[in-house]
Amino acid sequence: MTRVLVTGASTGLGLMAAQLLFEQGHEAVLHARSEARAAETRKELGRGAEVVLGDLSNLAGMRAVAAQANKLGRFDAVIHNAGLGNRDPRSETADGLMSVFAVNTLAPYVLTALMQKPGRLVFLSSGMHRNVTPRFDDLNWTQRAWASRTAYSESKLYDMMLAFAIARRWPGVLSNAVEPGWVQTRMGGPEATDDLDQGHRTQVWLAVSDDPAARVSGRGFYHLHARPPNPASLDIAAQDRLLEVCAELSGVALPP
């Protein structure tokens, strides 16, 4: 039995991943933003489950989730599923950071840096990461006219870069990224055309499977198959710059 933390597990792909983990006989610890969300999740699952609580849009919430997770002990895997979508207006967190970047990119960085090292890390990216390049000069979108799809796409490129950077830095941890496809969740919307049943399976497979194809590191995946990522995500200097920026913004350094 494998023990997995799933962030953003109160709805959508995170909830589906948790359900699949339980069905396969694994232990899933869920993250929810509030106790009300946690209660809804337990009801949806039809079972009790360990839940860590915290709002990943702010640094205090990120630290709180990491602290609660560490009290539960080391996890075999973490699925960084929590995220904001590509339709929202620009907003800032309590820390003055652009919300999409804070939740989609900085939160998985902070949790990874503060939690005990798991055996495996799975970062949720998106096919939209292919359409952009890193913009370290304006991560906070204060110099550009707001474009929600571009901001989201950039955050998902950074998730791909985080997965690859950590794969390099931590050779003892299997760190990969997943494109779940455009599926009909609350985030994806009713127009989505990809197979919803496939949307959560790859991240669970990467988190728990003994299949040699899943026991790799520094790869991007789509529907159980490796898929070449945006070449920009493979730039080592850019990966290292992203880690530096995340450390500067959060005050949390990635352990060696």
pLDDT band at 244 (very low <50, low <70, confident <90, very high): very high
Over 90: is that where the pLDDT of 1 sits?
A: no
Residue 102: name the closest of 139, 50, 74, 148 by CA: 139
Its domain, for residue 187, covers 3-250
pLDDT digits 0-9 by tens, 141-200: 999 999 999 999 999 999 999 999 999 999 999 999 999 975 555 555 566 445 667 889
Please report the pLDDT score of residue 148 as a whole number. 96
Over 70: is that where the pLDDT of 221 sits?
A: yes
In a domain, 140, yes or no: yes
Q: Of the ranges 88-102, 114-128, 178-192, which one carries the lowest mean pLDDT score?
A: 178-192
pLDDT digits 0-9 by tens, 12-59: 899 999 999 999 999 999 999 999 988 888 888 877 789 999 999 999
Please report the pLDDT score of residue 87 as a whole number. 87
Tokens of 25: 């006989």
Share of the chain above pLDDT 70, in %: 94
Q: Looking at the 3D structure of the chain, how many domains does it have?
A: 1
Residue appearing with tokens 């798991």: 118
In a domain, 108, yes or no: yes
pLDDT band at 246 (very low <50, low <70, confident <90, very high): very high
| H/E run at residue 6 | strand 3-6
In a domain, 141, yes or no: yes
Please report the pLDDT score of residue 189 as a whole number. 53
In a domain, 256, yes or no: no
Over 50: is that where the pLDDT of 226 sits?
A: yes
Please report the pLDDT score of residue 21 as a whole number. 97
Q: Of the ranges 36-40, 79-83, 100-104, 209-213, which one carries the lowest mean pLDDT score?
A: 36-40
140 Cα distance to chain centroid: 19
Strand partners for 78: 5, 121
- Round the average pLDDT of the chain to a whole number and report it: 93
| H/E run at residue 174 | strand 174-178
CATH code, 205 = 3.40.50.720
Task: Choose between 100 and 188: higher pLDDT.
Answer: 100
In a domain, 15, yes or no: yes
In a domain, 189, yes or no: yes
DSSP β-ladder status, 220-222 and 225-226: antiparallel
Kindly list the catalytic residues.
Answer: 152, 156
Residue 96: name the closest of 146, 140, 63 by CA: 140
In a domain, 255, yes or no: no
Which pTM was predicted?
A: 0.95
Detail the DSSP E strand segments found in the chain: 3-6, 27-32, 51-53, 77-80, 120-124, 174-178, 220-222, 225-226
Over 70: is that where the pLDDT of 207 sits?
A: yes
Please report the pLDDT score of residue 190 as a whole number. 60
Please report the pLDDT score of residue 167 as a whole number. 98
Please report the pLDDT score of residue 5 as a whole number. 98
DSSP string, 37-53: HHHHHHHHHTS---EEE
Please classify residue 216 by burial: count the beta carbons closer than 10 Å to its beta carbon, then call 0-12 exposed, 13-18 middle and 19+ buried.
middle
Please report the pLDDT score of residue 46 as a whole number. 76
In a domain, 192, yes or no: yes
